[in-house]
Amino acid sequence: MKGKQYTSINNIEEYQYSPWKEPVLLDGTDGMQFSPALKTDDVIAAFVNDLSRNCYFDYDHNDDRYPGLDNYIFNIQYALMQNSTANPANENYDVLVTGTTNMTSSLNAYGFAGKGHYW
């Protein structure tokens, strides 16, 4: 990511930085479309901009409000929102409180996202 910092009172310098402790390869789609051959035992992979990380979604249930259409509802995997003690892989993303994710390093300002958007 690109960042900016003051090098003096009159100069601002751009620099590249990673919001994560270790490099992360992007995985999945942008979350806007998925394979039409999607099945209930598939795991959806998407880079979620709101959370600044790769997220994985499991099938939860079929939405039957539209007769004749199979509308699958997928939810974010619970392990992605566990604190780093419960899921050590989340230490890379500074997840300190289960059900949230730390956005401070990717936003360059204090910020946390909650799971409610994906629940």
Query: SS3 of 84, please?
Result: coil
Domain carrying residue 57: 2-118
pLDDT (average), residues 58-71: 91
pLDDT > 90 fraction of the chain, expressed in percent and rounded? 25
Q: Which of 119, 115, 93 is nearest to 24 (CA)?
A: 93
Instruction: Classify residue 114 by its DSSP letter.
Output: E
Q: What is the pTM of this model?
A: 0.74
- State both tokens at 98: 């289960």
Strand partners, 17: none
In tens, the pLDDT along 72-85 reads 999 989 899 899 99
Between 110 and 64, the more confident residue is: 64
Q: Report d(CA 102, CA 113) in Å as an integer.
A: 7
92 CB-contact burial (10 Å; exposed 0-12 / middle 13-18 / buried 19+): middle
In tens, the pLDDT along 13-39 reads 988 877 777 888 888 888 888 888 899
Total domains in the chain come to 1
In tens, the pLDDT along 36-46 reads 889 999 999 99
